[in-house]
Amino acid sequence: MNIQTKKEYFNEVLRLESGRILSEFELVYETYGERASDDSNIIVICHALTGSHHAAGKYDESEPKPGWWDALIGDGKCIDTSKYFVICVDILGSPFGSTSPLSIEPNKNAQYRLRFPVLAISDVVNAQMRLFKRLGIKKVRAIIGGSLGGMQALCFAIEHPDFARNVVSMASTYATQPWAIAFNKIAMHAIKNDPEFKGGYYDEKQVAKNGLLGLEVGRIAGHISFLAPASMERKFARRYVGTDGLYELFGRYEVDRYMEYNGANFAKRFDPLCYLYTIKMMNNFDTTRHYGSLTAALSKVRSQLTLLSFSGDMLFFPSEMKTIADELKALGKEYYYEEIESDYGHDAFLVEIPKIENHIRKAIQ
């Protein structure tokens, strides 16, 4: 598989939903496979909260893990890179290379930090549209995403209705509900008030080395919402860490160890400010905002929409995707909706590949 990682600099203003602007910006993106001369084989992948442009493959054999959706994307796989030209763009606000709170603010000679504008899903989608325009891409075969990526996919369908023939949105919602906002509040509160966060002016190197406690805690909350009671039961049951005492106050169950380990690791590889900006973007996602109603928003859609929810999703409940499907039905739009049985929780869109492959295959035909 041919992996290309590239960066594009845009010396142009991006007007944001907030009314603020980015006077210049950069986007990192990755492509897999070969672009057909007639552009008939382009598939856009939208990444989730803490993902990146690195969706598939390994840069070299020494890389411990391949890209985050490698089980789905590759030569001969469901999203077959021997047939399709796949693009995944690192969203604005991400710590993995696109313009973010850590970027140098034009004419300031200093990082934006808290001066960085709050971004909306529509902004990160508009930025991607600028990239596609520069690459001469006028229309794509499909856009596919889960969770925050599913929000982007839905946003493409509503705000850029002629851009994608097919749009697949998974494990997502039409507007983030208070349950998900509350989970994000744990991170928001823990990071903002962490003395080491220093009001956003923490030492990046030190935080990357030690991890910020607030981010660790926020990530533990995230992991709870990504899993499900049944998946935790299967993964951990009530097993206790062998070397800890059951009656030691800080003795740990296996589920504790998992949370601790993943929280600590995450806090060393993800930036706290980027995390705050990205969860704020998730909280603020509401397709109805500029249209008055979900019906009005969805009436714009001209792509063929495929909506997939997962029965055990504890972050974005199937009823939320179902609401979109019901509205599309009432509008007489063509769409496909399925609630996939899974007890893997929200993470199902990343791990239940055999259950989503056929749906995606049909959607990109």
Catalogue the active-site residues: 147, 313, 346
Q: Which is nearer to its own copies, 142 or 187 (CB)?
A: 187
Please state the closest distance from residue 256 (CB atom) to its own copies, in A: 5
| Torsion angle, alpha carbons of 287, 293, 294, 299, to 10 | -100
Strand partners, 169: 145, 307
3-state secondary structure 164-181: EEEEEEECCCCECCHHHH
289 is in an annotated binding site: no
Burial category of 20 from C-beta neighbours within 10 Å (exposed 0-12, middle 13-18, buried 19 and up): middle
**Binding of residue 253 to its own copies (CB under 8 A):** yes
Pairing of strands 3-10, 85-89: unpaired
Per CB under 8 A, contacts with its own copies among 174-193 are 175-179, 181-183, 185-186, 188-190, 192-193
Token pair for 337: 């909706």
Per CB under 8 A, does 360 bind its own copies? no
Distance CA(163)–CA(229), nearest Å, equals 39
Applying CB under 8 A, the span of 154-162, 240-248, 331-339, 355-363 interacting with its own copies comes to 240-248
Q: Closest separation between CB of residue 343 and its own copies, Å?
A: 12
Q: Encoding tokens for residue 136? A: 């001469």
Rounded CA separation 152/325 (Å)? 17
Q: Looking at 73-81, 142-150, 157-165, 170-178, which segment touches its own copies (CB under 8 A)?
A: 170-178
d(CA 258, CA 175): 30
From 49, 255, 298, 348, residue interacting with its own copies (rule: CB under 8 A): 255
- In this chain, which stretch among 22-30, 69-77, 111-119, 147-155 interacts with its own copies, using CB under 8 A? 111-119
Crossing angle (nearest 10°) for helices 213-226 and 254-269: 120
Supply the minimum distance, in Å, between the C-beta of residue 185 and its own copies.
Answer: 5
Interface with its own copies by CB under 8 A: which range of 103-111, 135-143, 253-261, 294-302?
253-261
For position 201 contacting its own copies by CB under 8 A, the verdict is: no
Question: Which residues ranging from 5 to 24 are in contact with its own copies (CB under 8 A)?
Answer: 17-20
Contact 245, 251 (CB under 8 A): yes
219 annotated binding-site participant = yes
Q: Name residue 266's amino acid.
A: F
| Residue among 88, 276, 305, 340 that touches its own copies (CB under 8 A) | 276
Q: Tell me which residue of 95, 145, 152, 163 sits closest to 123, measured CA to CA.
A: 152
CB of 11 to its own copies, least distance (A): 24
Yes or no: say if 331 and 302 are a contact pair by the CB < 8 Å rule: no
Instruction: Report the residue number, 175 or 331, with the smaller CB distance to its own copies.
Output: 175
Terminal-residue alpha carbon distance, the chain? 21
Binding-site annotation: residue ranges for substrate: 219, 347
- Contact positions vs its own copies (CB under 8 A): 17-20, 114, 117-118, 175-179, 181-183, 185-186, 188-190, 192-195, 213, 216-217, 220-221, 223-224, 227-229, 232-233, 235-238, 246-250, 253-256, 259-260, 263, 276-277, 280, 283-284, 286, 317
